[in-house]
Amino acid sequence: MSPNAPETAADRLADIKARMERAARRIEGGDVAELVAVSKTFDAEAIVPVIEAGQRHFGENRVQEAQGKWPGLKSEYPDLVLHLIGPLQTNKAADAVALFDVIESVDRDKLARILATEMDKQNRRLPCFVQVNIGGEEQKAGVSTAETVEFVDRCRDQYGLDIVGLMCIPPIDEAPGPYFAQLARLARAAGVSRLSMGMSADFEVAILMGATQVRVGSALFGAR
């Protein structure tokens, strides 16, 4: 982090929120996006000051890691909203449904079907995002851009999931703007309204392209 970066978690949170608001003001009717604070690799001790500073949405990418720190925090702060933002194995679906409040990484039929069954069983109908492999990268999770609209339709009509939006992680070494714009187009085509896109390095660009939530980790918690 640069020497003049804000020092406390609360300062960094305020700084990120101010940057998000400035970005939102640059677009017409721009609602301020929701900040999802990505706390992966950080423990409860690092997370509590951010909660105390008013942050309520948090993101984790591993079910098992999240199980180690969030049940306690959630009972202490009942209004927290926990987002699963990493790939989900079907054998962890039951645990994920029990712990998380939003699933952002629905990316294949088998997972969609098992999630829907688990949600019925646990009587927890969670809002879900379909993850799109927006750069068509072999190593990345997500449905292809060509399959996105049909997959969203199947998730809703066939499996009964509550798909509220699309999520993406653009290729790391390219300008993200065009990818964010494409995710926004796909969301319109699929008839979903929410866009989870933008991380520490590019959340302002994502907001300019219509992000309704950004996922910010290192800019808030520090380097991992």
Q: Does 85 bind ligand PLP (CB under 6 A)?
A: yes
Q: Which is nearer to ligand PLP, 19 or 117 (CB)?
A: 19
Under rule CB under 6 A, which residues in 156-195 are in contact with ligand PLP? 169
Instruction: Give how many residues touch ligand PLP by CB under 6 A.
Output: 14
Q: Which is nearer to ligand PLP, 117 or 218 (CB)?
A: 218
Q: Which residue is nearest to ligand PLP (CB)?
A: 217
Minimum Å gap between C-beta 95 and ligand PLP is 18
Q: Does 217 bind ligand PLP (CB under 6 A)?
A: yes
In angstroms, the CA 178 to CA 215 distance is 18
Q: Which of 20, 33, 42, 61 binds ligand PLP (CB under 6 A)?
A: 61
Q: Does 83 bind ligand PLP (CB under 6 A)?
A: no
Q: Does 212 bind ligand PLP (CB under 6 A)?
A: no
Q: Does 86 bind ligand PLP (CB under 6 A)?
A: yes
Q: Which residues bind ligand PLP (CB under 6 A)?
A: 38, 40, 61, 85-86, 169, 199-201, 215-219
